Structure 1
Amino acid sequence: MKTTYSYEELLKFDDPFEYELGLPLKINNLPSTVVEEDIPDSKTKLLEKLAEGYSLIIQKPQIPNEKVFAALQLLGENDFMKLYAVNEKDFNEPLWDLLYESEYNLHWTFFLLIEMTGVVFELSYTGGETRALTLSGLNANTLIHLRLEVDESVTCRWG
């Protein structure tokens, strides 16, 4: 199954990301298109996108900090959360296992992003507020959220 939403269709939804698309993050500006589709295998898709130059962005709670995160690039942190970027070279089987196990854990968020330049990441609990990771500055970018357990992807494109 493959469903494509245009910018105009997204405008008609009350909250297209949370209720219609089920993304585990907030995005400040609507993409020009969104494609929801079934994929043959989430892990294969993830590895393909990393090989194409995408970065895997992971937000996770501060504690516990598994050993698998020690070598990863830390993008930011606050008192509650840490944000990491993973490239193809740093991705490994223990990280895959942890992502698969943590897919539905509260405050865990992960997705692929083709371009990180200019993107602003606002971590959960910033300023004492309880909410999801928020992204802005996604001009001409592509974001892919993989639903690992059900082998689905949501691709958001700007520009």
Structure 2
Amino acid sequence: MKTTYSYEELLKFDDPFEYEVGLPLKISDLPSSVMEEDIPNSKTTLFEKLAEGYSLIIQKPRIPNGKVFAALPLLDENEFMKLYMVNETTFTEALWDLLYEREYDLHWAFFLLKERKGVVFKLSYTGGETRSLTLSNLKANTLIHLRLEVNQSVTCRWD
């Protein structure tokens, strides 16, 4: 299965990322296109994208996760959440297991991002407003959300 939505088609949806595409985050800037597709293996795709220079961004609650997150760069935090960045060299099997286990946890969000420069991350629960991580300033970028258990991906592209 492969479905592609153009910018014009996305404009017709009430909330394309919650109801149509189902991303675990909010995006302030509507992408040029969104592609949903079945992939052979989520884990293999994740490793390939990390090798291509993508960063894995993880938002998680401030609850302790010990050794898994100890060596990862912290991008931001607030009183409720922490935001980490993972690359090819910092990714571990233990982290894969944890992400797979937490895939449907409403307090977690993770996705691949091609370029981090200039992207604005607004952590969830900031000021009690929302439960979703919000991204903005995604100029000429690619964001990939992997659905680990069902081996699917959602790719958002900005031109």
TM-score, L = length of structure 2: 0.98
The alpha carbon displacement at 1:129 in A equals 1.6
The alpha carbon displacement at 1:46 in A equals 0.2
Partner SS for 2:79: coil
Q: Paired residue for 1:32?
A: 32
Q: Paired residue for 2:77?
A: 77
The separation in 1 between residues aligned to 2:131 and 2:69, in whole angstroms, is 23
The alpha carbon displacement at 1:130 in A equals 3.0
Tell me the matched-pair count.
Answer: 159
The alpha carbon displacement at 1:65 in A equals 2.8
Partner SS for 2:143: strand
The separation in 1 between residues aligned to 2:22 and 2:99, in whole angstroms, is 17
The separation in 2 between residues aligned to 1:91 and 1:65, in whole angstroms, is 15
Task: Say what the alpha-carbon RMSD is for the aligned residues.
Answer: 0.7
**1:98-155: CA deviation from partner (whole Å, max 9, x where unpaired):** 0000001121000000000000000000112232000001000000000000000000
The alpha carbon displacement at 1:56 in A equals 0.1
Equivalent AA in structure 2 for residue 48 of structure 1: E
The alpha carbon displacement at 1:24 in A equals 0.4
Q: Paired residue for 2:101?
A: 101
Q: Paired residue for 1:60?
A: 60
Unmatched 5+ residue regions in structure 1?
none
The separation in 1 between residues aligned to 2:102 and 2:131, in whole angstroms, is 18
The alpha carbon displacement at 1:64 in A equals 2.4
**1:5-58: CA deviation from partner (whole Å, max 9, x where unpaired):** 000000000000000000000000100000000000000000000000000000
The separation in 2 between residues aligned to 1:129 and 1:6, in whole angstroms, is 30
2:13 is the alignment partner of 1:13: yes
Partner SS for 1:75: strand
TM-score, L = length of structure 1: 0.98
The separation in 2 between residues aligned to 1:105 and 1:129, in whole angstroms, is 19
Unmatched 5+ residue regions in structure 2?
none
Identical counterparts, % of pairs: 81
Equivalent AA in structure 1 for residue 110 of structure 2: F
Partner SS for 1:37: strand
Partner SS for 1:69: helix
Structural mapping, 1:137-156, within 5 Å: 137-156=137-156
Partner SS for 1:35: strand
Partner SS for 2:60: strand
